[in-house]
Amino acid sequence: MPESRGIGPIDVTHSPFAALQAQAVELREGFWRTRQQLNVGVGLPHGYRKLEESGNFHNLALAAGQIQGQYKGPLFIDSDLYKWLEGVIFTLQAAPDPQLAAMAERAIELIMAAQAPDGYLNTFYQVVEPQNRWKNIHSGHELYCAGHLMQAAVAHVRATGDERLLGVACRFADHIGTIFGPGRLETCCGHPEIETALIELYRLTRRQSYLDMAAYFIDMRGKRTVVSDYGILAYYQDQTPVREATAVVGHAVRQLYLCAGVTDLFLETGEVALLDSQKRLWGDMTTSKMYVTGGVGSRPTTEGFGEKYELPTDTAYCETCAAIASIFWSYRMLLATAESRFADLMESTLYNAFLAGVSLGHDRYFYVNPVLSRGGIERPEWHGCSCCPPNVMRLLASLQHYLCTTSREGIQCHQYAAAKRDTRFASLVLDTVYPWQGICTFRVERTQGAPWELSLRIPGWCTRASLTVNGQAMALTMRRGYAVIMRAWHPGDTVELNLLMEPRLVAGHPNIESVRHCAAITRGPLVYCIEQADLDGATPLLDVRLDGAAPLEAVARPELLGGITMIGAMGRVIDGAAWQERLYQPLAPPTMLRGVRLSAVPYYAWANRSVGAMRVWIPLV
């Protein structure tokens, strides 16, 4: 079956899978379409106004010589606009939107006008410190911003065929090639990002120089060329050569963007040492340095990873960008390995650590995502360092990209968002109210008679899954975490996947100090929390204890928080007043007072009703 231009898969050399372009998938009525529509209707226009207020357009106009004035904001501010623009571009491929198109056009024209004749583009160094171009590689963010420009340019071509931004990006990339490399400037950027971006640019243009440049920047890691003003090479990802790395360290976003780049390099070169290192790092992160929400980064000092099991609830950092970076990385690991555990983590991070980063109204954004609030925490509209909000916008706009892949054998469904998926094997429509219920109904709409495989991920959280094809029960044939159905398909065929979705209590590893004798409530991919908003005023949230033996009850609450399934639980209230005067007392069992009914809401929905206390981990009775 011939591919129509623009919706063909993206070939990744050393993957059994081909990535689907976003426009090959059309979201249908369901959880994620609702959020994506809010992103289009509220988030992206909100972002435009905030970029305007923050000086993004102003700085570009300064660099273009169109106006005179003072530069505004931090030196990496261009990247915010590039990420927002990428979000708009993905949106425009799905449906026309004249207002967003005009906003994007303004941005694109300014970017083109601002680029220096030699290809250089960075408003801070063009306007404020032209004498310091490429002088402050460790914290100047020039290559970082360049990477985000490249990603927007690649999206632009894939989504619309428009090559104007690509021209800017390639000229800049070519200029960078004249600056960095053996015998020239021999170092790497203090904030990884350009590595994965150059490889994406390579996949689109097939210019070997971009792949080589990405490889060069990756190989420079660990040569300790980055002068560290934090005193920590790990922070800048320059402590260890990537092939020797055994642990995720330093600034979380830097580490995970680098991981995405290294995995991309494996995907194009097939060098096993690269993939092996990434498996080690992914194992280190997921078995010792990750919050239950999928959030990462436990040290505010470095916005970074701590020691193994150093996961305090008090000061969890869990930057929204780190969740996004983790999703990018796990997606590439999924392409590299075809193993479901990577899609599992993408799912968990999407529904929890990532989605909590944006308010239900899509006009407020967290940078730091606590798993415990003693009260007073709310999402700001924008940030002084506002990397997260536009990153949320571009991921929401490009969610289609991550739902499924194709291979020589067939179609793999990784994420269960209601959508129509157009592939060369078939049009496949998934109808589901996931994550509220675990029933996923697939209908094959267009296919030929040749047999192909449909692979359906059985999530790690699921203890019982069943399948029917055209109403007939089928045993599950599992491969790398996927139930594989191989048959000759016909239009109208239906597959029903039923994932048992029960509320469940989970415990943390005993070496995690902060969650000892606690449980978190989960259901399906969702992590829940309890909020003061669901307790009466006489019951301080922090005095609540959970009865781990009492049954949990899932209750649909369509009217609440945009429509959720709430989990009811039973607890007790301790006598907090007994501790008023003393911080430490002789050991004695806590005094339990009355029982209390608890109502847990999805973690992503917290802080949308009040600034009261919240906790993910609930101490047990």
Report residue 422 as tokens: 């157009």
Contacting a copy of itself (CB under 8 A), which of 475, 538, 583, 594?
583
Closest contact distance (angstroms) between CB of 288 and a copy of itself is: 6
Q: Shortest gap between Cβ of 518 and a copy of itself (angstroms)?
A: 7
Catalytic residue among 193, 303, 347, 496: 303
Instruction: Tell me if 310 contacts a copy of itself by CB under 8 A.
Output: yes
Let me know how long the chain is.
621
Q: Please, are residues 599 and 520 in contact by the beta-carbon 8 Å criterion? A: no
The answer to the question of residue 139 lying near a copy of itself (CB under 8 A) is: no
Shorter beta-carbon distance to a copy of itself: residue 75 or 519: 519
579: exposed, middle or buried (C-beta count within 10 Å: 0-12, 13-18, 19+)?
Answer: middle
Burial of 377 (0-12, 13-18, 19+ CB in 10 A): middle
Residue with tokens 């590689």: 137
The nearer residue to a copy of itself, 139 or 298, going by C-beta atoms, is 298
CB of 441 to a copy of itself, least distance (A): 28
Whether the CB-CB separation of 14 and 266 falls below 8 Å is answered with: yes
175 touches a copy of itself by CB under 8 A: no
Q: Is 314 in the site for a copy of itself (CB under 8 A)?
A: yes
Binding residue for a copy of itself, selected from 307, 361, 464, 478, defined by CB under 8 A: 307
Report CA-CA distances (Å) from 516 to 124, 197, 369, 519, 617: 47, 41, 21, 8, 9
Q: Nearer Cβ to a copy of itself, position 103 or 544? A: 544
Q: Determine the straight-line distance between the first and last CA of the chain, rounded to whole angstroms.
A: 61
- Residue 380 interacting with a copy of itself (CB under 8 A): no
* Residue whose CB is less far from a copy of itself, 264 or 347: 347
For the stretch 239-277, what's the b/e string if a residue is b when 16 or more beta carbons lie within 10 angstroms of its beta carbon? bbebbebebbbbbbbbbbbbbbbbbbbbbbbeeeebbeb
Q: Does 471 help bind a copy of itself (rule: CB under 8 A)?
A: no
The 253-292 contact track toward a copy of itself, x by CB under 8 A, reads ---------------------------------xxx-x-x
Q: How far is the CB of 139 from a copy of itself (least distance, A)?
A: 16
Q: Can you tell me the distance from the alpha carbon of 312 to that of 289, in angstroms, rounded to the nearest whole number?
A: 11
Query: Smallest distance from the beta carbon of 349 to a copy of itself, in angstroms?
Result: 13
Task: Yes or no: say if 367 and 388 are a contact pair by the CB < 8 Å rule.
Answer: yes
Least Å distance between CB 25 and a copy of itself?
30
Residue 526 binds to a copy of itself (criterion: CB under 8 A): no
What's the number of CA atoms in the CB half-sphere (13 Å) around residue 545? 19
Nearest distance, CB of residue 587 and a copy of itself, angstroms? 4
Binding-residue total with a copy of itself (CB under 8 A): 55
Residue 551, interface with a copy of itself (CB under 8 A)? no
- Within 13 Å, how many C-alpha atoms sit on residue 371's CB side? 31
Given the complex with a copy of itself, which of 445 and 502 has the nearer CB atom?
502
Q: Is 300 among the residues that bind a copy of itself (CB under 8 A)?
A: yes
Q: Which of 71, 134, 216, 579 binds a copy of itself (CB under 8 A)?
A: 579
Measure the CA–CA gap between 191 and 139, rounded to whole angstroms.
Answer: 7
Of 3 and 229, the one with the shorter C-beta distance to a copy of itself is 229
Q: Which is nearer to a copy of itself, 72 or 516 (CB)?
A: 516
**Pick 449 or 589: Cβ nearer a copy of itself:** 589
484 lies in the site for a copy of itself, by CB under 8 A: no
481 part of the interface to a copy of itself, by CB under 8 A: no
Q: Quick one: how far is CA 2 from the chain centroid?
A: 32
| 506 lines the binding site for a copy of itself (CB under 8 A) | yes
Q: Is residue 554 a contact residue for a copy of itself (CB under 8 A)?
A: no
In terms of C-beta distances under 8 Å and separation of at least 24 residues, what long-range contacts does 553-558 make, across chains too?
Answer: 553/503, 554/502, 554/503, 554/523, 556/436
Residue of 308, 420, 443, 480 that binds a copy of itself (CB under 8 A) = 308
- Residue 165 structure tokens: 């931004």
**Closer to a copy of itself by Cβ: residue 419 or 519:** 519
Which helix (H) or strand (E) element contains residue 453? strand 452-457
Sequence-distant (6+) residues with CB within 8 A of 500 are 438, 462, 463, 464, 465
594 binds a copy of itself (CB under 8 A): no
Whether 387 is catalytic: yes
Q: Which two tokens stand for residue 352?
A: 């929890």
Q: Which of 175, 269, 309, 476 binds a copy of itself (CB under 8 A)?
A: 309
Number of other CB atoms surrounding residue 334 within 10 Å: 27
Work out which of 74, 548, 563, 568 binds a copy of itself, going by CB under 8 A. 548
Return d(Cα 23, Cα 3) in angstroms, integer.
13
Sign of CA dihedral 387, 389, 390, 396: positive
Largest CA distance in the chain: 76
Q: Return the C-alpha torsion angle 273, 279, 285, 291, nearest 10.
A: 150
145, 321, 387, 404: the active-site residue: 387
Catalytic residues: 303, 387
Binding site for a copy of itself (CB under 8 A): 286-288, 290, 292, 298-301, 306-315, 372, 374, 504-520, 542-543, 548, 574, 576, 579-588, 590, 619
